[in-house]
Structure 1
Amino acid sequence: MSTQTARPAKALTPPDIIARKGGDPLVCLTAYTTPVAKLVDGHCDLILVGDSVGMVVHGLDNTLGVTMEMMILHGQAVRRGLRHALMVVDLPFGAYEAGPDQAFANAVRLVKETGCDAIKIEGGVHMAETIRFLTERSIPVVAHIGLTPQSIRRFGGYKVQGRGDAADHVLADAVAVSEAGAFAVVVESVPESLGTRITEAIAVPTIGIGASATCDGQILVVDDMLGMFTDFTPKFVKRYGELAGHAQEAIARYAEEVRTRTFPGPDHVYGEGPAKAGKT
């Protein structure tokens, strides 16, 4: 018996996303839990269950330690909260690099166990064969180029990609993955002019994160844009809230009321009530 939540007819599909090329910008955010999925669903076109969950939720230093089991667990949670937005789940580091067969096996597992609409793979020209293999076998793929966090050891950290002569290499990545069948391409941390070039060069939507306002859509990590963290904010993040500060204030008030025994008060405790009738 399937445990997946039924979705209404208005739920978005990969063809709906492709049709937005050059049209109204795509609104995209990450989500890792059911409550957050419910909050963002009515506002977004695409929700990514990103391997950033390793850093945001589990406190890892990077995304390299994220496992298939973690992606499945959080994918299942997000699926329960979505009715409208298209849901994409990251294939984590080590789950697809060995070749198309490995990628297909793990992508099928993600689709079956989470009910996701598509998977996301990092990499450009060298991943085109794998993307083609998946899409030819009915696995919709979102590609991810530019700064690919699973490659930070090769890049030497989280560094802007595509400056100077390297721009042509990133552009070639975009063309390769789009021609291989990806229905959208995440473009991360590249110069603004390169983000525009890529958007103009490929036939599928670009989703920018630290790229350009001319991209066909934008994505941010939801915890970043809500201000859930106070220690680090990437340049490309705009804070639309300061929830960490509000949460700290609320927790401090709670702690003070517990210590002074003003919580729980009369409104938060139970009275005796009527006695229950015994069985006859």
Structure 2
Amino acid sequence: MKNLNSLGFLVGSLLLIYPKVTGVRDITKDNYNIDEIDDVDNRLWNAYRRRPTYLILASRIIRPSSIYQIVVNLYAEAEPMRVKASLSRDGVEVSGSDEFLSSLEAKSILLQVPEGNSQEYSYKLRVEGFSQDSAALLFQNETRLEFTNRFLAIIISTNKVVFTALHTMRVRAVLLRTDLLPYEEVADIFILDPDQFIIRKWHSKQLNNGVLTADFELPEFPKVGFWTIRVVAQGQIEEKKVKVEKYYVPKFETFVSMPAFHFPSESHVEVIV
């Protein structure tokens, strides 16, 4: 019985005694970086942890039916990403495109501005950068744009500067887009008297390689003053003033003296004016 008691005491003592394990450290209580423990070089990853630096160049003014260009440049701290540019009108996206860019690379993003000449719309440009690996949003930038309906260069010319009764007014208008290409759509042209009454109009007149022509004969008793030639193309209006005066073309009396007869054998005839 004494031996059994001694054995039980020995077993209990063995349960309380355990060897000390060496070479293991509880890293949760240390202030070391996990990269230092694993001896991993993550300097490139640490560089990408900073906010990416970029440059966006775009016009603040947009015009209808035109190509809107945005230039995006990524600097050294930016990782390769997908950059998306979108154009919204009253909160609804109307045009969008994206490009893949690497560090120290610049690319152009082209957006098609829709038709419409109303200046009541609110346009915004939004540029976003997404990671190529995880598709995470890296940056975003949104700004308000100014809308103008002047997207054409319209030059109006006439055959004269001053007109009078029964003269034919020949009008020619040249319409060029912002890229200096001819405007190929239709346009309206109006002739207005000094009281701004429409005397003649041509609706949806087709252009010939960007050139619009029209002829108008003045009445016998026109109103004296400045008449207006108005050209309208998709809401853009261009006007030119011409003067109508009441004047008479001076008459000249000409006296011609020549021989009373002429022989067929003569090569020329002498005339005195």
User: What band does the TM-score fall into relative to the shorter chain?
Assistant: under 0.3
Indicate the structure with greater helix content.
1
- Larger relative contact order, structure 1 or 2 (CA cutoff 8 Å, min sep 6): 1
Indicate the structure with greater strand content.
2
